[in-house]
Amino acid sequence: MNKIRLVIADDHLVVRDGLRGMLESQPDFEVVAEASDGLEAVRLVNDLTPEVVLMDLRMPVMDGVTAIREIKTNQLDIQVLVLTTYDSDADILPAIEAGATGYLLKDTSREDLYAAIRATARGESVLAPVVAAKLIGRMRAPAEEQLTSRELEVLQLVAEGASNRDIAGQLHISQATVKSHLIHIFGKLGVSDRTAAVTVALKRGFLRLDQ
């Protein structure tokens, strides 16, 4: 039997242990490595070339979205299945646009997780129902309400108190580009300043504020 080789990327040891125990109960799964942050996940994937990576999103050193982007840049044929507790637009859209094949929540049943991994290994997109509903809702939303993943990144940093200079440095873009993104964001949200943009985005679930 050709086994599906897996890498688990999650910053919580208990989660990784639990997933490994579940997955290795299946004869067609082999967990070849675990990563506690996104940077380690990228390194392990480059070294081991698994078929599927189970990727959490909020991790230290390098977040899951950045890790997905790095993995898909280096190894296009490796599939990434997001497995997280977060289902906001600010999490889902960047992960999908970065190249994730699927997106599940951690309350998924083990049977559904097994099936999703097998489907992901075949290159099939697998989405939790709430995630699929959000994506469909975004597609049907008026164009002026749709923020790009980059605009979401800019607005997230604004919500965290970053200045235009800070945002430019973190995203490796010019301050003029930051201003351009903000103008587009204001227009799409129908607001005229940063505070209002953050307020509207939070109400609509576009942003998250970590506790």
Burial tier of 106 (Cβ tally within 10 Å: 0-12, 13-18, 19+): middle
Measured CA to CA, the distance from residue 97 to residue 189 in angstroms comes to 21
**pTM of the entire structure?**
0.69
Domains, the chain, ordered by start: 4-138 (3.40.50.2300), 143-203 (1.10.10.10)
Range 140-150 average pLDDT = 69
Sign of CA dihedral 160, 163, 166, 171: positive
Confidence at 56, pLDDT banded by 50, 70, 90: very high
Write the DSSP assignment of 67-88 as a string of letters: HHHHHHHH-TT-EEEEEES--S
pLDDT tens digits along 60-109: 999 999 999 999 988 878 999 999 998 877 788 888 888 999 999 999 99
Range 177-205 average pLDDT = 86
Write the DSSP assignment of 13-42 as a string of letters: HHHHHHHHHHHTTSTTEEEEEEESSHHHHH
